[in-house]
Structure 1
Amino acid sequence: MIQDSFGLTQLNSKRLEFSCFQEKDASEAYVAITPNLARYMAWDVPESDEQFREV
């Protein structure tokens, strides 16, 4: 377990790197949004990945 400069925890193993969502992750996450997934979101789906970065 590693803490970054913001005090957030990152877990690492040989096969997995798990960390808190960051703005740099937005582009990859945005393309994964599907209608089936979006129905569980507490907010409307952004129209672009730029808008998604603000969420």
Structure 2
Amino acid sequence: MSKKSKAKRNFESRADREQTIEANYYARKCGLTREEVLKILKQACLVKA
């Protein structure tokens, strides 16, 4: 496995982990489930792009 491939995989898993942490925070703050927040975040990313 090349260094680029390994680095890309680490970045993707880190991004997923950060998104999960953010979803947990907003779920607690707003009284939503984590799944609802993840859905909202994914929709927001689609609109942003």
In the superposition, the TM-score normalised over structure 2's length comes to 0.22
Could you say which structure has the higher strand fraction? 1
